[in-house]
Amino acid sequence: MSTVTVGRDYFDALLRRARLHASEHDYELADDLLSNVMVSKAEYGHLRQEARDLALLKNALFRGGLTTHALNTLLAGENDVSNTDTSEHSDVLSDISQNSAAALQASRINGSASVSDDTETASDCIDLAQPRQLYRTHVNGGIGYSLEDTSEGGQTYVTNSEHRERIPMHDRRTILITNLAERTTHKDIVGIICGGRVLDVFLRRIDRSATVSFVEGAAEFLAYAKRNDIYLHTKRLEFRWADRHFYVPAHVSYKIAGGASRNFVVRGGAGAATEEQIRDHLEHIHNLVVVAIDFRVVQLYPKVYPEHNFNKAAGFVRSAATQGADLVVLPEYHLTNWLPKDPSFAGLCDEWETYLKKYQELAKECGVCIVPGTIVEGHRGEEKEEDRLLNVAYFIGKDGEIIGKYVKKNLWGPERNHLTSSTTHPHEVFSTPIGKVGLLICWDLAFPEAFRELIAAGAQIIIIPTFWTLNDCNPAGLARNPTSEALFLDSILTARAFENTCAVVFANAGGPPGKGYAGLSQVTVPFVGPLVRLGGAGEGMIVTEVDLKVLDEAEDAYGVRRDILGEDWHYEYRHSKLDEPRSGDNAE
């Protein structure tokens, strides 16, 4: 065999020319050699066997209840395959659930996938990362990761996955906080934390402590807390490293790196989402905590001019909406005052539909829930008992729709000559964007049976528009204590909150000094009493947030609702019982 010797430069030129004129069909594996991985036949057979084993394992997991979404999450968390196109993931996973066979999918370093003619089709493949060595790199002060792949030629390829951070699974990240006050809430703990992102907050009521786990910045916050005394509810808190630190599973780390959060705040009074919608979307979350609901209680001086009173109330509502309020409550008789002997009073009450629609439009405009005190409705067009006036409280949702309606049941003595009671109609509880709500009006407050009916139906928040004055007591009572009505209100509101494990929102009318208005509008919860309270009778608006968790804690302590709903409950508070003949009565 004869040989020809050529120079190196000439040989390289011949190779380049051959590649230039070669047909793409000359390559047996694929369009581009660079998109293929060359392996030995033995290794290829081993990979095929592993693919079959993985397919059997996958099918067994699916039969056991694992979903394709959960499988994809676990694979992504373990392998950090972050550059794969999402549409490709979707197509591959939908085919996985229908095919029993699976083969390895060869991936490029840049994340794109191609399959040779000798392998099974891509629709039968499951995304698995190629075995590559992981090493850490610092990116913008955080911890990132890269994938290192060494080819047969000895060249090293590095993929950075767009500098996605890598959260260490084991790290010193959990701080123990002790010496907490008994009424400390999740919101209180989050309020004192600054610095890094919060991963987990866990309250321990038994020893009045809490653990806070950080994604990053735990050491910096601990140093800050030790340099600066931090007080919560007048108690100095103590900070130190916890004995055990929060473990971050790989799939959780992957989700956090992608921007997911375990803690969030929903803000904006004009938002379209309601609490019920949020809960529906988050019903899969274990230990979901709704931190607080923002209340505004308006104390007004009602005059005899409905348009003037409405405009003033609307100003308070708009102001509350700009502050992010969830609910605004107005007093009883706030549109007309209580002047039943005034010749124009009945005529003013005939305009009730006009003002109800105005409040519906206002709620929709501002994106807040409104309880517009009470609206006195005139129904004089019908020749029935209902010809007389009705004192009605409405709950209007953020979309302007009426969610609940209640006609005053327990009329105050002077009202009975002018108003019609709802008598034996049962009390109702309404599902609202802020929770389960019951409505009562003024003198209903004196009857624990009304509260019991609402609590038995699941009410969490009881709203009471009121027109209560310091002169409602008789002369004998005023002689003994001129402020007896104020004492009555403060005492009974706290008692109702405790004995029913509920929040009580009390909106009373106010007015100038010397006219007998009691004021004292407040929001009261168990354990604490009044969260906030207007001390006088002047006009104003109170601002507060109610942590609904306190209601669950009170129920855990007292078990009132549990006892009421028990089969052996022994008090006849139900309206259905009122119609039954009692012992000693003559049945007809």
Task: Tell me: pLDDT of 117 over 50.
Answer: no
Half-sphere exposure of 156 (CA within 13 A, CB side): 7
pLDDT tens readout for residues 341-378: 887 887 788 888 899 999 999 999 999 999 999 998 88
pLDDT of residue 269: 42
Q: Are 412 and 442 in contact (CB under 8 A)?
A: yes
The share of the chain scoring above pLDDT 90, in percent, equals 31
Q: Please, which residues have CB within 8 angstroms of residue 205's CB and are 6 or more apart in sequence?
A: 182, 553
Nearest alpha carbon to residue 253 among 409, 143, 355, 126: 143
pLDDT of residue 241: 94
pLDDT of residue 35: 58
**What CATH class has 293-578?**
alpha beta
pLDDT tens readout for residues 243-293: 988 888 877 777 777 766 656 665 554 445 555 556 565 555 554 455 567
Using DSSP, state whether 126 is helix, strand or coil: strand
What's the 3-state SS for 518-547?
CCCCEEEECCCEEEEECCCCCCEEEEEEEC
Counted residue by residue, the chain has a size of 588
Task: Tell me: pLDDT of 558 over 90.
Answer: yes
pLDDT of residue 521: 93
Query: If you average pLDDT over residues 115-130, what whole number do you get?
Result: 37
pLDDT of residue 466: 95
Range list for CATH 3.60.110.10 in the chain: 293-578
Report angle CA 176, 181, 185 to the nearest 5 degrees: 75
53-85 as b/e: b if 16+ CB within 10 A: eebeebbeeeeeeeebeebbebbbbebbbbbbe
Task: Tell me: pLDDT of 515 over 70.
Answer: yes
pLDDT tens readout for residues 88-109: 444 434 443 444 333 333 333 3
pLDDT of residue 278: 60
Whole-Å CA distances, 379 to 302, 310, 352, 371: 22, 21, 10, 21
Give the chain's mean pLDDT: 76
pLDDT tens readout for residues 289-337: 555 677 788 888 888 888 999 999 999 999 888 888 899 999 999 998 8
pLDDT tens readout for residues 171-200: 889 999 999 988 788 778 888 888 788 888
Instruction: State the pairing for strand pair 461-466/435-439.
Output: parallel
Question: The whole model's pTM is what?
Answer: 0.54
pLDDT of residue 149: 41
pLDDT of residue 445: 95
515-524 as b/e: b if 16+ CB within 10 A: eebbbbbbbb
pLDDT tens readout for residues 440-475: 999 999 999 999 999 999 999 999 999 999 999 999
Whole-Å CA distances, 487 to 3, 331, 469, 494: 118, 19, 12, 11
Compute CA 520 distance to the chain's CA centroid, rounded to the nearest angstrom. 31
Beta bridge partners of 137: 144
